[in-house]
Chains A and B, each alone.
Chain A
Amino acid sequence: MSDTKILSFSGWKKNVLQGVMIIIALCWLIPVFSAVYRSFRFMGIQNYVYVLSTRINGIYFVQAILNSFIIAAVAVFLTVSVSSLAGFCFSKIDFKLNKLFYLLTLCLLAIPGVTILIPLFFTIKSLNLMNTHLAVALPEVALTLPFGVLLMRNAFDAIDNAYLEAATIDGANYYQAFFRIYLPMNIGTTINLAILQFIWSFQDFLLPNYFISKKEIMTTTQLISSFNRAMTVTPKDLGAFSASLVLLAIPVLVVYLIFSRYIKSGLTSGGLKG
Chain B
Amino acid sequence: MSEHLSEIRQRNNNKSAIFFLLPLMLIVGILLFYSIFFVIKNSFFDFDLSFREFRFVGLHNYSRLLTDPIFYKSIFNNVIFSLVIILAGVTLGFLFAVLLSTNIKGNRLLFAILFLPSIVPRALIATVFKEMLEYHSGTVNTVLSYLGMNVQDLTWLTDPGMAYFSVITVLVYMLGIPLLYYNAELTTIDSGIYESAQLDGANFITLITKIIFPLVKASHKTIVISTLLAMFRMFEVVFLLTSGGPGFTTEITGTYIYRFTRRGMDLGYVSAAATIILVIALCLSVVQIKLLYKSKKN
Partners in one complex: yes
Q: Is the pair B20, A88 in contact by a Cβ cutoff of 8 Å?
A: yes
Binds A, one of B58-66, B128-136, B149-157: B128-136
A245 located at the interface, meaning its Cβ lies under 8 Å from any Cβ of chain B in the complex: yes
- Count of B interface residues, CB-CB < 8 Å: 105
A-B contact pairs, 23 of them (CB 8 A): A9-B103, A21-B100, A28-B117, A30-B132, A93-B13, A95-B16, A108-B32, A110-B232, A112-B253, A112-B278, A112-B281, A114-B232, A115-B253, A117-B261, A118-B274, A142-B32, A145-B27, A200-B233, A203-B236, A206-B236, A224-B240, A242-B131, A267-B180
Number of A-B contacts (CB under 8 A): 314
**Whole-angstrom CA separation of A28 from B129 in the bound complex:** 12
* B residues less than 8 Å from A88 (CB atoms): 20
Residue among B16, B104, B232 facing the most chain A CB atoms (10 A cut-off): B104
Give CA–CA (A249, B215) in the complex, Å. Answer: 35
In the bound assembly, the distance between CA atoms of A274 and B127 in angstroms comes to: 35
How far is B117's CA from A143's CA once the two chains are assembled, in angstroms?
Answer: 23
| Contact yes or no, B16 A93, CB < 8 A | yes
Which listed residue (B21, B112, B180) contacts A86, Cβ 8 A? B21
- Give chain A residues whose Cβ lies under 8 Å from the Cβ of B187: 2, 4, 6, 268
Majority secondary structure, A binding face = helix
Residue of B nearest to A250 (CB): B120
B residues in contact with A143, CB < 8 Å: 32
- Chain A residues with Cβ under 8 A from B111's Cβ? 1
B35 interfacial by beta-carbon distance below 8 Å:
yes
Give the B-binding residues of A (Cβ under 8 A).
1-2, 4-9, 14, 17-18, 20-22, 24-25, 28-31, 34-35, 37-38, 78, 81-83, 85-86, 88-89, 93-96, 98, 101, 103, 105-123, 138-139, 141-143, 145-147, 149-150, 173-175, 178, 199-200, 202-206, 210, 220-221, 224-225, 227-228, 242, 245, 248-249, 252-253, 255-256, 260, 263-264, 267-268, 272-274
In the assembly, what is the distance between CA of A38 and CA of B105, in Å?
30
8 closest A-B pairs by beta carbon, nearest first, are A112-B232, A89-B20, A119-B38, A142-B31, A119-B35, A115-B274, A116-B35, A95-B17
Q: Are B38 and A118 in contact (CB under 8 A)?
A: yes
- Distance (Å) between the CB of B176 and the closest chain A CB? 10
Chain B residues closer than 8 Å to A4, beta-carbon distance: 101, 186-187, 191
Residue of B nearest to A34 (CB): B139
Is B108 a contact of A123 with CB atoms below 8 Å?
A: no
Q: Within 8 Å CB of A25, what residues of B?
A: 109-110, 113-114
B254 at the interface (CB under 8 A from A): yes
Given the known interface contacts A108-B285, A110-B288, A120-B31, the answer about A1 and B183 at a Cβ–Cβ threshold of 8 Å is: yes
Given contacts A111-B281, A274-B292, A221 and B236 within 8 Å (CB-CB) = yes
